[in-house]
Structure 1
C-alpha cells in the first residue's frame, strides 16, 4: 500500500471516529436536557384511588428530569405498579407539550378484587408429595373471601373457613396507608385451627402421622399485629408482635416427648419480630432481572415462663440477570439460624417444608440451622404476549399474558442437626437436586411447572408444581 493510499485510509478512519464522537456528544447533550413534568394523568382506575398509583411513581408533578433518566424512571414505575398486584396491565406514555414540558399518562387495567371462591386443596408440603401419597382423606375444602384493594386503598381483607382434613378459621387485614405519604401501615391476623391427624416424628426423613379417632389431635390459636414502614419505593420494614397457643393430645406427647419438649402437651409463647426487605426485582412472582435482600430476626418467648426462649434469624437474597435476548439466570439463597440447639420437633423445620430442594419433594429435614441455594438458567421459548380471550365477556378476565420458559436448575442445601434430630439421615450431609423443567407464566400470576429432577440418592422423576420456583417474599 503506497503512502497516498495509507494516508487516505487513516483520514477515513479519523473522520469516522470524529463523526462518531460528535454524534455521541450530541446524544449526550440531548440526554442531559432537562424536562419539567407539567401534567400527570391517570386512566383506567375505576376502583383504585389516584394516590395509590401516584405513590408508586418515581417522579412527581413539577419534578425536573433529564431525558436520559426518563426511560429508567418510567420502567421502574411500571415495575412498582405491577408489583402491587392490583393491575393486569400497566402502561406509561409521555408526550412533549408545545412549551417543551412533559405530559405523563398512566394507563392501568385493574384486576378483579373480590374473590369468593370454594377451597379444595391438599394438606401436603407440596403437590408432588400429595400425588405420591395418594391419600384423598388429606383434602381440605371450604370457602375463602378475599377483598383486594379494599376501598380502592390497596387494603386487603381475608376470611378463610376450612373443614375436612383440618378445620380452620382465619381473618386477616392489611393497610399500607395510615398517613398521607403512604409510608406507614398496619396489619393483623387471628387464626384458630384444629387437626385430627398430626405428624409427630420423622423417620428416614419422612413424617410419621398420628390419627385421633374421636378428638382433635392438635389445636392451635395464633394472633399477631404488625406495624409496617416503607420509607422508599423498594425498602420495606415491619415490626410484629404475636402470640401462639398450641396443644396436642397426651398420646402425641408420649409418642414423642420432644414434640413440644419435656413431654409437654402444650406450647405457649409470645413473639416479637423485625423484618426488613430491599427489593429491586422486576417481578415478585417471576423475576427475570434485579435483586433483593431480606432479613428477619425474631425473639420467640419474650417472658421467662413461656415454653421456649429462642432467637431466630432468617436471611434471604436473590439475584436475577438477562444474559441474552431470551436467556436468563437466577440464584436464591436462604439461611436460617437459631440460638437454641434443642428446638422442639414442632418448630424444628428445615429443608423440605416451605423451603425444599427440587428433586427431594418427598423428604423433610429437621434442624435448627440450614442453608439452601437454588440456581436456574432459563430460556424463553415464548416471549410474553397478550392474548384476548374472545369467549369471555369484556372485562377483567378477557385478556391475559402468556410466556413459556425452558429451564435447567441445580439446588443445594445443608442442615446442621440438633440433639433432637437423631432419626433422620440427611442432616449434616450435603444435599442436592438438579434437572430441567418447563414453566408457564400466565393468568393472574399463575406459574405452572413440570420438572424432571435427580437427587443425591439417584432418584429420578417428574414433579408438578403450581407456584413460582423463586423466593416469593
Structure 2
C-alpha cells in the first residue's frame, strides 16, 4: 500500500503544475471561407482549383502532397468534401512531421474551391539523454529490484527525424551502465521518384551483464549469474553484434509491404549451457550462434492518429524464417497476425477491440525462440510481473474509455516551433483474455491455460506522442495492483 501511495503522489506532483495553467482549447483544425457560394452548386461536385501547402521549412513540400489523396484539378463530391478534408488531415498528421496540421477551404464560386494546408513543423534534431531501467517494465524494476540504480542504463540517443526533409530518420545510440550498446539505423520511407518505396539499414554491438536463461514454475525469469553482488562486478555474459536491412513498398496510403533481412552473432558465457542452467538456450549445447532472419510484413493502417488512435482500424500479417534449416537448433518459422478496431462511440466515448495471434514451427523450439507474453506491448494488463512462454499464443483485448479533459497550455517561448502544449486525459476500463501454448517439458505455471485480467485507469497524452498510462489491474490469480506504462515519440 505504501508503494501504491508513493506512485500516486509522484503522478500528482508531476501533473499538478501542468494542469493548473491549462486553458480550454478553442483551436479548430479546419476553417471555411465564403462557403455560402457553394449553395448555388447545381451539380454534385466541386473542383480543387488550387492546392497549396504553407509552413514547411525543413520538409520537402512534395512529401505533404504525397499524403493527400486529392490533387489540384481533381473533383470531389460535395457531400463528401468535409470527410475528404478530414481524411487528408489524418494522413498528413500521421507522418509525425508536424505539431499542427490545419486545412483551410476557400470557395471561389459555386463549383471551385481553393485548399490551403497550414503546417507547423516539429523540432527534428534531438540529442536525448537516456536513463532507463533494464527490466521489462517499470513495475518489475520498482517492486522486484527496489528501483535499484545499479539496474539502469544511461547514455545519449542522437536522433534526426527529418534528415533531408524527406521524412528520413537517423538514429545513433551510445548506451552504458548495466548493459552497453552502440548502434545506428537509417530509414528513408520515400527513396524513389514516385515516393512509393523506401529502405532501412542498421547495425550495432550489445553487451549484457546478466542473461535470462529460463522461465521458472512461477513464470518469472531466471538469470545468469543469479547473485546480484556477482552481477554488479561480473564481466559481460552476453555479447552480440548485428546488422539488418529492409525494403518497403507503399503505393497507396494505408497498405505497406515490408521485407527484411538480419544477421546477428551471439556469444554467451560457457556456464549458461551447463546442465545446471539451460543447455537448450540455443537448442543445442553450444555457447555461440549466428542467427539469420528473413521476414515479411503486410501492414494496414487507417486511423486518425497513428500514435494514439481513437477511430479507424489497423491490421497486419507477418512471416519470419530464422535459420537456414527446418528443425533443430534455432530454426524457426513464425506466423503472426493482428487486428485492431477503434470506435468513436459519440459524446466523447471510445471503444477498442484488439486481436493478436502467433504460431512458431516446429513446436520444439530453443529457449531463445519461446517468448510469448510479457515483452514489449505483448502482455495481459494485470500480468505484467509474469513471463509466459509459448510457441503459439492468442490474445484479445477490449477497452472502453471516455475523454475527461482536453486542454492547451499556451507556450510562447518558441512560437516558430510550438505555440501550445496539449494535455488530454481519458478514463478507461478494460478486460484481456489470452492463451499461450508450450510443450509440457517446461516447468511453468501459466502456459496451456486460459488467462484473463481486467481493470481501470487513466491515459494522459501530451506533446510529441508522449502518453502515460496509469492502470489498476487485477487477474485470475487474485492479485491486484497499480501499473505504470509510458510511451514516447522520442
Query: TM-score scaled to structure 2, two decimals?
Result: 0.86
Moved more, 212-221 or 409-418: 212-221
Q: How far has the Cα of 1:314 moved from its partner? A: 0.8
Counterpart among 325, 329, 332 of residue 310 in structure 1: 332
Who is 1:210 aligned against?
A: 224
Q: How far has the Cα of 1:172 moved from its partner? A: 0.4
Q: How far has the Cα of 1:30 moved from its partner? A: 5.6
- 1:381-425 CA-to-partner distances (Å, cap 9, x unmatched) read 11x3333124x34342442222110000011110001255x2210
Counterpart among 356, 379, 391 of residue 379 in structure 2: 356
Tell me if 1:452 matches 2:472.
yes
- 1:220-240 CA-to-partner distances (Å, cap 9, x unmatched) read 222111110001101111110
Q: Closer, same or farther in 2 for the Cα pair 1:267/1:36, shift >3 Å?
A: same
Counterpart among 418, 441, 459 of residue 439 in structure 1: 459
Who is 1:179 aligned against?
A: 192
Who is 2:434 aligned against?
A: 413
Who is 1:9 aligned against?
A: none
SS of the residue 1:149 aligns to: coil
Tell me if 1:347 matches 2:361.
no
Q: Closer, same or farther in 2 for the Cα pair 1:396/1:323, shift >3 Å?
A: same
What does 1:117-156 correspond to in 2, within 5 Å? 117-133=128-144, 134=146, 135-156=148-169
**Contact 1:446–1:467 under 8 Å retained in 2:** yes
Q: Closer, same or farther in 2 for the Cα pair 1:306/1:55, shift >3 Å?
A: farther
- 1:48-99 CA-to-partner distances (Å, cap 9, x unmatched) read 1011000110101111112122211111111111111111110011111147
**Contact 2:329–2:366 under 8 Å retained in 1:** no
Tell me if 1:189 matches 2:212.
no
Moved more, 211-220 or 242-251: 211-220
Q: d(CA) in 2 for partners of 1:214 and 1:415?
A: 34
Query: TM-score scaled to structure 1, two decimals?
Result: 0.89
Q: How far has the Cα of 1:352 moved from its partner? A: 1.0
Q: d(CA) in 2 for partners of 1:309 and 1:347?
A: 9
**Contact 2:261–2:293 under 8 Å retained in 1:** yes
What does 1:196-345 correspond to in 2, within 5 Å? 196-203=209-216, 204-211=218-225, 213-254=233-274, 255-302=277-324, 307-345=329-367
- 1:209-264 CA-to-partner distances (Å, cap 9, x unmatched) read 11354432001222111110001101111110111211101111112111112222
Q: d(CA) in 1 for partners of 2:294 and 2:359?
A: 16
Who is 1:428 aligned against?
A: 448
Q: d(CA) in 2 for partners of 1:31 and 1:148?
A: 47
**Contact 1:32–1:68 under 8 Å retained in 2:** no
- 1:321-353 CA-to-partner distances (Å, cap 9, x unmatched) read 111211110011111111121211122100111
What does 1:3-18 correspond to in 2, within 5 Å? none
Moved more, 215-224 or 109-118: 215-224
Asked which structure has the greater RCO (Cα within 8 Å, sep 6+), the reply is 2
Tell me if 1:81 matches 2:92.
yes
Q: Tell which structure's C-alpha radius of gyration is larger.
A: 1
In structure 2, the gaps of 5 or more residues are 1-37, 226-230
**Contact 1:267–1:307 under 8 Å retained in 2:** no
Q: How far has the Cα of 1:31 moved from its partner? A: 9.0
Q: How far has the Cα of 1:466 moved from its partner? A: 0.7
SS of the residue 2:346 aligns to: coil
Who is 2:106 aligned against?
A: 95
**Contact 2:41–2:110 under 8 Å retained in 1:** no
**Contact 1:224–1:241 under 8 Å retained in 2:** yes
SS of the residue 2:92 aligns to: helix
SS of the residue 1:323 aligns to: strand
Who is 1:15 aligned against?
A: none
Tell me if 1:160 matches 2:173.
yes
Aligned residues between the structures: 440
RMSD between superposed Cα atoms in Å: 2.0
Q: d(CA) in 2 for partners of 1:141 and 1:234?
A: 37
Tell me if 1:70 matches 2:81.
yes
Who is 2:421 aligned against?
A: 400
Q: d(CA) in 2 for partners of 1:435 and 1:348?
A: 28
